[in-house]
Amino acid sequence: MGCKETKSKVLDMYNNHSLIVNPNSKRNLLEKIFTLLSIICAIVAIIPLMLVISFVLIKGGSYISLDLLILEPEPPGDDLLSAGGIGPAIVGTLIMSLIAAIISIPIGVGGGIFLSEFSKNGNFAKFIRFGTNVLAGVPSIIAGVFIYAIIVSTKIIFGSMFSAIAGGMALSILMLPTIIKTTDEGLKLVPDDLRKGALGVGASKFTMITNITLPIAFRSISTGVVLGIARAAGETAPLIFTALFSRYYITGLEDLFYEMSSLSVLIYNFALEPYEAQNQLAWSASFVLIIILLGMNILSRWITSSTTEKNF
Amino acid sequence: MVLALASVVALILLSIFVVIFFESRESISRYGLNFLITSAWNPVTDEYGAFTAIYGTLLTSFASLLIAVPLGVGTAIFITEDFVNKKIRNFISVMVELLAAIPSVVLGLWAIFILEPFLRPIFQLIHKFLGWIPFFSTSPIGPGIAPAIIILVVMILPIITSISKDSLNQVPQRLRQASYGIGATRWTTIFNVIIPAAISGITGGVLLALGRAMGETMAVTMIIGNSNSFSWSIFSPGYTISAMLANQFGEADGTQVSSLMYAALILMILSLLVNIFAQWAVKKLSLKY
């Protein structure tokens, strides 16, 4: 076999186009079909968000006015002009999220500190991590049922039944796993050298945690807290039979022991009313709720992106 | 001190179980396992059975997975491959994640007033041509199981997409290059190398989504029609355990509360099993490179 023969063979192959990509071969067609399918998936996946956001912005945003934001809702009826507003619900959502945060931040941050600083990979820590994941998967309505059983039906808090406190407690169960996880992960990112350095210069473990590790992990912990609060503020299921609903503003601290309205429960109740006016209030409340939640999400993204790890 | 705070998690989890079990024991001793297979729900005669609700919970969650898994994984592949430039892919990724931030009650509101009226003619068409199949045997007249399935798809899509995306991103680049090097095309590589390498994360995400779908309450309650009479058809109104709880818990007393607690216990056990299985699957299926 000479060189010439091989050369003519290659030329022959080339002339018969076997080295040129054939766009109609089965292999290449399949490639294109799958690529197209995945593009379609991506487009279909963002359609719902676009639709939900635009309907909430249009239907909810068009009726937003100062009155709507501060008035109390009137009893259901078919009068669009005297339907009232959603003021108490906005305040209620903020108050109950705050109660939930007050309960779950200390427990969550404390639990996270335990997991990453005290018992890095012991069996008990593994069990708590597992428990945190399971608690994160507990359906939100179960949190409501649980609080109903131990707080509302037993009237254990000064004889009050349905109350803002009970609602806040139900929400705190949902916030807890998020806060523990982000604290744990935030603390894990703190370089060990810093801990050793602190202990080396004679700091106690307590001083090391409060003065060195916690301040460094502060930003990722606050991301977790913001996300946790955002999750709680949007929840409805744990509130519908713990905090119920009320049409009035709170007037004093003692009102925390009575029913309290929230944006989410207002949306649920008014969406199911047969009257146009109440449905409209539900859309407006959705608008306000989504603005609050998206704001919190953007805030948490901003906190994370401005965290870009400092070089130690 | 912090040990005590960490134990609170275990304590809450344990007491949820104990309290719900304790509250439901009257119903458990009265109906036993018959509760799972009968569908009577009559507060007047005190007859309770959760079959319709359990069937509704399982049907809606598995049917929504059937739609959401290919859609979510497909989107995740689109985001992780370089079909278009990174800006567009990031945009889609953020959009899908923001979808998770929309509260379920708002999705429920949207489902009642926009989605269901829009889907009804389509469902009617399906009923007209495929009505001989038991699943499509009743005429769609409003809220029902089918729109609930669709809204569940919307709710679990972000979970599946973002977790699949993360695990696809974690597949080492050299696996892909080796595959290209021996002459595989892009999609051969995706199906035979990338997806198998990321399967543990994807499975975990799918199971988490299943748990979420089972426990999802508000959007489903608002759109499923809340009827306890059993029907095979997905166009007729139905019930899920969580919808039943949301609807009846406020006004229930006596045996009804106990029966609702029994239903809650079943839901709790279902979601616990799915969650444990998810954590196990992630460990078991993860490939070591």
| Residue of A40, A50, A145 lying closest to B264 (CB–CB) | A145
Q: What is the pTM for the complete model shown?
A: 0.89
Same domain for A272 and A171 = yes
- What token pair was written down for B83? 């079909």
For residues B214 and B62, give the distance between their C-alpha atoms in angstroms, rounded to a whole number. Answer: 9
Of A33, A62, A91, the position where a domain reaches its end is: A62
For residues A53 and A50, give the distance between their C-alpha atoms in angstroms, rounded to a whole number. Answer: 5
Nearest residue to A148 via CA among A138, A137, A156, A139: A156
**pLDDT tens-digit series, residues A122-179:** 888 888 888 898 898 899 999 999 998 888 877 777 767 788 899 999 999 999 999 9
**pLDDT tens-digit series, residues B68-89:** 999 999 999 999 988 888 899 9
| pLDDT bucket at A97, cuts 50 / 70 / 90 | very high
With 80 as the cut, is the pLDDT of residue A12 above it?
A: no
For residues B75 and B159, give the distance between their C-alpha atoms in angstroms, rounded to a whole number. Answer: 12
pLDDT at A159: 67
| Residue of B10, B83, B274 lying closest to A35 (CB–CB) | B83
N- to C-terminal Cα distance for chain A? 67
With 80 as the cut, is the pLDDT of residue A266 above it?
A: yes
Host domain of residue A32: 2-62
With 50 as the cut, is the pLDDT of residue A312 above it?
A: no
pLDDT at A246: 82
| pLDDT bucket at B270, cuts 50 / 70 / 90 | very high
**Which H/E stretch holds residue B47?**
strand B47-48
Contact B140, B123 (CB under 8 A): yes
User: A133 phi and psi, to 5 degrees?
Assistant: -65, -40
pLDDT at A265: 92
Of A41, A62, A83, the position where a domain reaches its end is: A62
With 60 as the cut, is the pLDDT of residue A79 above it?
A: yes
What's the complex ipTM? 0.89
For residues A183 and B68, give the distance between their C-alpha atoms in angstroms, rounded to a whole number. Answer: 31
Instruction: Catalogue the E-assigned strands of A127-264.
Output: none
Region for residue B69 given its phi and psi (left: phi exceeds 0; alpha: psi -120 to 50; beta: otherwise): alpha
pLDDT at B180: 92
Same domain for A193 and A254 = yes
- Residue boundaries of the structural domains of chain B: 2-285
Same domain for A307 and A264 = yes
Q: Which CATH superfamily is domain B2-285 in?
A: MetI-like (1.10.3720.10)
Q: Do B279 and A133 touch (CB under 8 A)?
A: yes
B25-46: average pLDDT: 84
Contact A187, A213 (CB under 8 A): yes
Task: Name the DSSP letter for residue B249.
Answer: G
pLDDT at A311: 41
Q: Which residue has the higher pLDDT, A75 or A80?
A: A75
Segment 91-120 of chain B within 8 Å of chain A by CB: 92, 95-96, 98-99, 101-110, 112-114
Q: Which residue has the higher pLDDT, A44 or B286?
A: A44
Contact B245, B264 (CB under 8 A): yes
Same domain for A153 and A57 = no
A218-235: average pLDDT: 89
pLDDT at A36: 93
pLDDT at A3: 67
Domain count, chain A: 2
Same domain for A16 and A129 = no
Quickly count: other Cβ atoms within 10 Å of residue B129's Cβ.
10
Same domain for A78 and A39 = no
Same domain for A79 and A50 = no
CA dihedral (A17, A19, A20, A25) positive or negative: positive
Quickly count: other Cβ atoms within 10 Å of residue B57's Cβ.
28
Residues from chain B contacting residue A120 (CB–CB below 8 Å): none
Q: Do B74 and A42 touch (CB under 8 A)?
A: yes
Same domain for A41 and A180 = no
Task: Name the DSSP letter for residue A239.
Answer: T
Same domain for A152 and A31 = no
Same domain for A76 and A42 = no
A205-225: average pLDDT: 89
Best-predicted range by mean pLDDT (A158-167, B157-166, B227-236):
B157-166
For residues A152 and A150, give the distance between their C-alpha atoms in angstroms, rounded to a whole number. Answer: 6
For residues A228 and A219, give the distance between their C-alpha atoms in angstroms, rounded to a whole number. Answer: 14
pLDDT at A2: 57
With 90 as the cut, is the pLDDT of residue B151 above it?
A: yes
CA dihedral (B114, B117, B118, B123) positive or negative: positive
| pLDDT bucket at A5, cuts 50 / 70 / 90 | confident
Task: Name the residue of chain B whose CA is nearest to A229's CA.
Answer: B101
With 60 as the cut, is the pLDDT of residue A285 above it?
A: yes
To test the contact with chain B by mutation, choose from A119, A175, A268 the residue with the greatest count of B C-beta atoms within 10 A, namely A268
Instruction: Write a three-state SS string for chain B.
Output: CHHHHHHHHHHHHHHHHHHHHHHHHHHHHHHHHHHHCCCCEECCCCEECCHHHHHHHHHHHHHHHHHHHHHHHHHHHHHHCCCCCHHHHHHHHHHHHHHCCCCHHHHHHHHHHHHHHHHHHHHHHHHHHHCCCHHHCCCCCCCCHHHHHHHHHHHHHHHHHHHHHHHHHCCCHHHHHHHHHCCCCHHHHHHHHHHHHHHHHHHHHHHHHHHHHHHCCHHHHHHCCCCCCCCCCCCCCCCCHHHHHHHHHHHCCCHHHHHHHHHHHHHHHHHHHHHHHHHHHHHHHCCCC
B31-41: average pLDDT: 84
pLDDT at B101: 86
A38-52: average pLDDT: 92
Of A13, A30, A62, the position where a domain reaches its end is: A62
**pLDDT tens-digit series, residues B237-261:** 989 999 999 988 877 777 888 899 9
Please list, in sequence order, all residues whose beta carbon lies within 8 angstroms of the beta carbon of residue A98, skipping any fewer than 6 positions away: A168
With 80 as the cut, is the pLDDT of residue A46 above it?
A: yes
A282-288: average pLDDT: 93
Segment 214-273 of chain B within 8 Å of chain A by CB: 214-218, 222, 242, 245-246, 249-250, 260-261, 264, 267-268, 271-272
pLDDT at A274: 86
CB-defined contacts A:B, below 8 A: 238
Same domain for A173 and A101 = yes
